[in-house]
């Protein structure tokens, strides 16, 4: 059975403001997407870094791990990032996102890869990188340590990493991360610049 299409997610700001991105729904009828308040808070943080001269969006890549609909990476392109990189393992979401990105004509790299295994060594020539992780909330029950290992590997092995931002169901008690909760969602941020 093919997954149903959801209503869609709207780009909030920038060049693509108002564009609707399809929000794929799983065969079980569930959709997982980043709420607008989280998206706004995340990009407010990055805009603040840019205003402080700590992040140049025009020479930065936004890495959208567990991309799903791709709304976060597409929002980053709308707001002036040089390129967005998308990692999505689910075939139907990958194909849907690939079609959306082709229509937008913005610089991107999309890979049908497991973000837990293929998060490093990517061909990203931009000077700075912002990593966004929004794994399925079910991952936090059994894969918290694996997610922490991925974050540590990015920090140690990926030069130019400016920030790592993680959406989770509860605040993470990880060193050098600050957390902001919005209802059932938490934004965990580590700034490295």
Give the predicted TM-score (pTM) of the model.
0.88
Tens digits of residue pLDDT in 30-71 = 455 678 889 899 999 999 999 999 999 999 999 999 999 899
Predicted confidence band of residue 14 (pLDDT cuts 50, 70, 90): confident
Nearest to 66 by CA among 34, 36, 43, 40: 34
Strand pairing class (60-65; 128-133): parallel
Tens digits of residue pLDDT in 90-124 = 999 999 999 999 999 899 999 999 999 988 878 89
Q: Which CATH architecture has domain 34-115+124-191?
A: 3-Layer(aba) Sandwich (3.40)
- Which three-class secondary structure state does DSSP give residue 12? coil
Q: SS in 3 state form for 34-60?
A: CCHHHHHHHHHHHHHHHHCCCCCHHHE
pLDDT of 11 reads 74
pLDDT of 43 reads 95
Nearest to 129 by CA among 67, 76, 70, 180: 76
Tens digits of residue pLDDT in 143-157 = 999 999 999 999 999
């Amino acid at each position: 059975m093919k997954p149903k299409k959801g209503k869609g997610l709207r780009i909030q700001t920038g060049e693509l403001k108002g564009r609707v991105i399809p929000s794929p729904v799983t065969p079980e009828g569930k959709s997982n997407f980043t709420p607008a308040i989280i998206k706004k808070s995340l990009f407010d943080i990055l805009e603040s870094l840019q205003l402080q001269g700590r992040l140049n969006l025009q020479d930065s890549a936004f890495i959208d791990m567990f991309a799903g609909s791709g709304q976060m990476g597409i929002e980053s392109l709308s707001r002036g990032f040089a390129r967005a990189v998308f990692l999505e393992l689910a075939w139907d979401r990958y194909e849907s996102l690939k079609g959306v990105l082709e229509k937008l004509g913005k610089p991107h790299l999309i890979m049908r890869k497991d973000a837990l295994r293929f998060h490093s060594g990517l061909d990203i020539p931009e000077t700075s990188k912002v990593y966004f992780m929004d794994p399925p909330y079910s991952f936090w029950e059994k894969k918290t340590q694996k997610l922490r290992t991925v974050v540590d590997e990015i920090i140690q092995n990926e030069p130019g990493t400016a920030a790592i931002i993680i959406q989770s169901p509860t605040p993470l008690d990880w060193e050098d991360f600050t957390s902001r909760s919005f209802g059932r969602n938490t934004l965990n941020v580590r700034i490295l610049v």
